[in-house]
Every structure is written in structure tokens, then in C-alpha cells.
Structure 1
């Protein structure tokens, strides 16, 4: 049974509706709380060298946005944009601090969540640093396939070639070239922004040495 503190926490939530393309976390803005995705898809990014966008991750229903800055930083180190019409649940920083101080079980669960996030982040950095550009693009395709699944033979997330590049850490031109090669090798199919992966096992085999499964 939920504690009284957690019940108060849930009762005081605020629901927010975001339209496709709407930004709801602004990089560099003061940290004021956390967002839980109730429905929809989101990209989380940070600004890199020369102002270029680097996509940190994609998120879907049930995931948290803005948690890495909570309690440790005054400003958000990331930005977040809805990739489709999205419903969010917002909890203020003050409310979170109140519950964390009064409910040890909730605090412990959140600590385990942070530990798991750190492990995944470290594993990703290690793997990406050892991958070729082709392997990074394939890793991106497998990550999106695992996270969002398939609809009618295509990954259930339509992204531009630039967004693929911003996540894989390469250029749009490289993504276009590698996609063209993968299509010729019949490892992927494409319909506009929709990408299909009919040969998942062959794609996995290409990067099996890098433990592709670590980044869920």
C-alpha cells in the first residue's frame, strides 16, 4: 500500500499536453521538477560543439525526463521536444524533495533507478567509443527497434536522417550513405522517414562484440 507521502505526491501532479514539435524542457533553464511521459514520444538532446544538437536519448510512455539535473544542478543540462502529440505528468522540485525526505522506500527506489541509469550510460559511452560509423548507425537502428517496436514492418518512430545522425554521432551525409548501403544489402527498408529492419539478427551480429543490448 502506498504511503501517505506518496499519495500526496500523486495527488499533486500536474498533467501537461504537448503538441508535436513542442519543447517542454529548455536547456539552460532553472531546474524546477521532473516530467513523466504518460503517452507519446520525446527526444532528449544537448547542444554540442558549434551549437550542433546531440540527441542523448529517445523516450516513451513510462519514462522520466529531467531527472539527471534534479538535486545536483541548478539548470537543466538537456532540452526535450515532443516528437508527436504527448501527454506529460509534471512534479515540482519542492514536492519531490518533500516526498524524498519523508518516504525512505520511495527514496530507495529512486536511488536504484539512478544507479541503473548510470550503468547504462557508462556502458553506452564505452561501446560507442569503439564503434565505426556504420556500427553506430546500426546500433541506433537496433536501439530504436527495441524501444519502439514495429508497426507494419517499420520502426514505430519516424525520424529525419539528421536526427539519426545526431543520435549516432555522425553526419547526415554519412547516415544517407550507410542507409543506401544497408538497403542494397537488404538489411533495412525505407519509406520516407520510416525505416524497417527485416534482418534484425544480421544487424545484431554486426555489433555483437559491443553488447548492443545494454542500452534499452
Structure 2
């Protein structure tokens, strides 16, 4: 990992935005800004927890082993998000891995300093509590869907989630270069099944495929696949 030290953007970084002004110099002294290459891991599932990461730019996937050859993507994290917080539990090892999907810059704090930061910055502590609660809710939803939802609705849900998180470019395609394998891992299915379902959705006019790019053309139609009853 290459270390750098650019100026922190106070409007985007939750760490600096919610810390007391008097604490910012301490953050400046203790932080490390790390540049990750595409495909490089910040940490690996099972690693001893050493610190926490705030994404300054770029996109990462948070994933865990599904079996010996497959992975399940838990979520995607982008600018302003926190990565490594799952290591805050009693088990001092990361339960997931975090991998850069494009060149990514992260602000890294070692855990002892981060814990001290939480003790003296109540707004940051409260925001982290809400973030953890939301993350837990999303994890429960994803596990429920994986257990009970057929594969086609899971893929439709994955596409809607990607659009909501990353938006679209000026011609309507997802504004995020993601591989088919990563979409499959996010939906909890195989590449072959994803390929088949994407072609079905494309033929039905719900999405448009252009090489690796995907555009959602009928969001209501995808939502109806996810929840046929419209609840």
C-alpha cells in the first residue's frame, strides 16, 4: 500500500465532519492516507484488527468467503463510507475482506486512536452507532433474501441497489464499472445464472446491455420482480 497525505475534504469525510474542531489536529497527526491499486485489499477476512478506514475516493467491495471457491459481496463502499467497522466486536479479527474495485484513497486510523476519538467526539460516536445499525439491518435483509428469495428477484434487487447507490451516467448506464462476476457475487448466484437472467431482462426491455455496461430501462418492472405483490 502506498501512503500519501492529501488535504482532507471536511465536507465529505464523516470523521473530520463530526469531530470536535479541537480534535482535528490530533486526527491530522495520527491518520495515514493510503492509496490502493485496483484489486488490492485493505484487509483480508481473518486478519487481526489493527484499524479502521474512511474512504476518501474510489470504490471498494466488502466480501466474505461463501465456500472454497466463491465469495459473497456484502456491500459496496464509496467516498465518505466507513470500512473495517465490523472489526470493532469482541472477536479481534475482520469477519470480511475489503478490496479496491478502482484506484482508491483511504484515510486509516489505528484502532487505539480511533477508540480514543470515539470517547471524546459524541457526534461521531452517535453517527457510527446509526451506521452500524443500518449495516446490521441490511445484512439481515440480504441473508433473508439469500435464503428465501428466488435468484431472478435477487438479481433485480442487486441492479436496483447499484443504481440507487451509484446513479447513472449521462446516457443512462450505471455510473460504476462493475464486472458480471461481482454482480453475481452481490446477488448470491453464479456467473452463468446471472448471464442468463440478464439476457432475459434485456430481451424483456427492463434493462439494456451494451458490452459490460448496464442501463435500467424499467425500474418499476424490476421492482415488481423483487416484490410481485407490491407490498
Task: Establish whether TM, by shorter chain, passes 0.5.
Answer: yes
**Cα pair distance change 1:210/1:73, threshold 3 Å:** farther
- Unpaired stretches in structure 1, ≥5 consecutive residues: none
Q: Distance in 2 between matches of 1:73 and 1:27?
A: 12
Residue pairs, 1:13-92, within 5 angstroms = 13-92=31-110
Paired residue for 1:201, among 192, 197, 220?
220
Say how many residue pairs are matched. Answer: 212
Paired residue for 1:164, among 183, 188, 194?
183
**Aligned-pair distance for 1:125?**
2.6
| Conservation of the 8 A alpha-carbon contact between 2:56 and 2:79 | yes
| 2:116 counterpart of 1:101 | no
| Conservation of the 8 A alpha-carbon contact between 2:74 and 2:139 | no
What is the match of residue 157 of structure 2? 139
1:93-128 CA-to-partner distances (Å, cap 9, x unmatched) read 011111223344433332222222222222333344
Q: Does 98-107 or 174-183 show the bigger shift?
A: 98-107
Q: Does 149-158 or 5-14 show the bigger shift?
A: 5-14
**Cα pair distance change 1:60/1:204, threshold 3 Å:** same
1:9-28 CA-to-partner distances (Å, cap 9, x unmatched) read 35522111112122111221
1:140-168 CA-to-partner distances (Å, cap 9, x unmatched) read 10010100010122111222222111111
**Aligned-pair distance for 1:78?**
1.0
Q: TM-score, normalised by structure 2?
A: 0.83
1:136-193 CA-to-partner distances (Å, cap 9, x unmatched) read 0101100101000101221112222221111111111110110111111011111222
| Conservation of the 8 A alpha-carbon contact between 1:127 and 1:210 | no
Q: Distance in 1 between matches of 2:228 and 2:110?
A: 42
Q: Distance in 1 between matches of 2:24 and 2:211?
A: 45
1:14-48 CA-to-partner distances (Å, cap 9, x unmatched) read 11111212211122111111111111111111112
Paired residue for 2:211, among 184, 192, 200?
192
**Aligned-pair distance for 1:88?**
0.8
Secondary structure of 1:46's partner?
Answer: strand
CA RMSD of aligned residues (A): 2.2
